């Protein structure tokens, strides 16, 4: 039977699903079906012509998401949930948000157009950018049309067949591409659960809950559909096979991860180190392995920030490894606090309608302020030798 916390979480996800449609680009028509036109315009009236209300709604949804996230963690810590109940909530969350609009990022459209360059124009996205096809109707609502393809070849190998299957129709193509985010979300959750089942069984459900219900994970993987989540899912699969000492499969999975997006190449030394420890027949402290992996991915995160700027979805690089040591206050509190701070990046844009000054300064203060707040809280609780709850 559904409990109050589960019901509150589902309602919060439903509100997020509905809110996502307020951000449909004014230049985009999802479908020409007449009954939808009026609904879409009403959603857009909130998102684009009543920005104070839109911002308030977003902040209220964030409040609900984080409130019920903490309640889920609290109840999980006290063994009030079974694995079956948690997985059911995860599946409901993924199933509903699969069909949400990618409200907070235009990257999904870039993924679609990169594949379209091959399937429709028979050209290479490595040598052509979206602006080279000036007559394409997708350019009317896309952003970042000036950039060349920046990802690994495997991402193209995955997305090109989906582009064919979508028959160059926007809605089915979007659903197929959003499905990759769903696969990444479910797959990474599954590997975290399986890894903890082997390395820290008493914390497997807490670690899974920490990861799978983190609002930043939810928004950036299931709503925005960033390919980082699939990259991390495959990398976690590599660690799972390392645990099972299936080294060929482990290297294959890591190679596939790098083939999607290059950031996980920094984990190569970690894989070499684990294999060397096994070869030496030395006992492996997996907690230290997760911490080493975390710090390597922090390097990848900082490199990404240096190349562009702080983006909320970059936290997907490190949250999987934080989830594997989530019982430690020094990681738990900064991760959650920073997740909130990064999701608040969208609030000034929703209110002002642009990323112009003073928005960049606000984003920096939100990032630094919430990280510092979480770090201070984590240090205080650690020094008092208390658990996260």
Please write down the HEC assignment for all residues of the chain.
CCCHHHHHHHHHHHHHHHHHHHHCCCCCCCCCCHHHHHHHHHHHHHHHHCHHHHHHHHHHHHHHHHHHHHHHHHHHHCCCCCHHHHHHHHHHHHHHHCCCCCCCCCHHHHHHHHHHHHHCCCCCCCCCCHHHCCCCHHHHCCCCCCCCCCCCHHHHHHHHHHHHHCCCCHHHHHHHHHHHHHHHHHHHHHHHHHHHHHHCHHHHHHHHHHHHCCHHHHHHHHHCCCCHHHHHHHHHHHHHHHHCCCHHHHHHHHHHHHHHCHHHHHHHHHHHHHHHHHHCCCCCCHHHHHHHHHHHHHHHHHHHHHHCCCCHHHHHHCHHHHHCCCCCHHHHHHHHHHHHHHHCCHHHHHHHCCCCCCHHHHHHHHHHHHHHHHHHHHHHHHHCCCCCC
Average pLDDT per run of 10 along the chain, which is 389 residues long? 87 98 90 83 96 98 98 94 96 98 96 97 95 90 90 97 95 97 98 98 97 98 98 98 97 98 98 97 96 98 92 98 96 97 98 95 96 93 76
The pLDDT of residue 382:
79
Give me the pLDDT at residue 1, please.
Answer: 47
Domain boundaries, the chain: 4-327, 328-389
pTM comes to 0.96
Q: Give pLDDT, residue 389.
A: 75
pLDDT at 387: 72
Q: What is the pLDDT of residue 62?
A: 98
pLDDT at 264: 98
According to the model, what pLDDT value does residue 2 have? 63
pLDDT of residue 119: 97
pLDDT score, position 37: 86
């Amino acid at each position: 039977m559904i409990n109050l916390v589960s019901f509150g979480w589902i309602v919060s996800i439903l509100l997020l699903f509905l809110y996502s449609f307020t951000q449909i680009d004014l230049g985009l028509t999802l479908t020409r079906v007449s009954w939808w036109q009026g609904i879409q315009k009403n959603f857009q009236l909130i998102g684009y012509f009543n920005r104070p209300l839109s911002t308030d709604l977003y902040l209220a949804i964030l409040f609900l998401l984080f409130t019920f996230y903490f309640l889920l963690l609290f109840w999980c810590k006290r063994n009030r949930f079974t694995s079956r109940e948690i997985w059911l909530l995860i599946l409901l969350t993924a199933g509903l948000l699969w069909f949400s609009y990618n409200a907070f990022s235009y990257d999904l459209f870039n993924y679609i157009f990169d594949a379209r360059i091959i399937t429709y124009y028979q050209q290479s996205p490595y040598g052509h950018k979206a602006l080279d096809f000036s007559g394409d109707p997708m350019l009317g609502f896309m952003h970042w049309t000036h950039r060349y393809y920046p990802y690994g070849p495997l991402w193209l190998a995955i997305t090109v067949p989906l582009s064919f299957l979508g028959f160059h129709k926007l809605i089915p193509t979007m659903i197929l591409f959003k499905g990759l985010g769903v696969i990444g979300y479910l797959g990474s959750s599954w590997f975290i659960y399986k890894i903890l089942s082997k390395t820290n069984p008493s914390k497997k459900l807490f670690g899974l809950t920490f990861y799978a219900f983190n609002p930043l994970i939810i928004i950036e993987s299931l709503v925005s559909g960033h390919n980082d989540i699939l990259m991390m899912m495959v990398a976690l699969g590599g660690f799972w096979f390392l645990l099972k000492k299936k080294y060929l499969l482990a290297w294959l999975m890591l190679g596939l991860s790098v083939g999607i997006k290059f950031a996980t190449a920094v984990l190569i030394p970690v894989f070499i180190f684990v294999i060397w420890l096994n070869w030496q027949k030395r006992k492996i402290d997996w907690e230290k392995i997760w911490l080493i992996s975390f710090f390597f991915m922090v390097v990848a995160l900082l490199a990404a920030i240096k190349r562009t700027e702080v983006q909320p979805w970059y936290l997907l690089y490190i949250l999987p490894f934080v989830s594997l040591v989530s019982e430690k206050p020094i990681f738990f509190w900064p991760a959650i606090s920073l997740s909130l701070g990064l999701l608040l990046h969208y609030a000034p844009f929703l209110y002002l309608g642009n990323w112009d000054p003073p928005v960049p300064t606000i984003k920096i203060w939100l990032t630094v302020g919430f990280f510092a707040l979480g770090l201070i809280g984590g240090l205080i609780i650690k020094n008092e030798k208390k658990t996260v709850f």
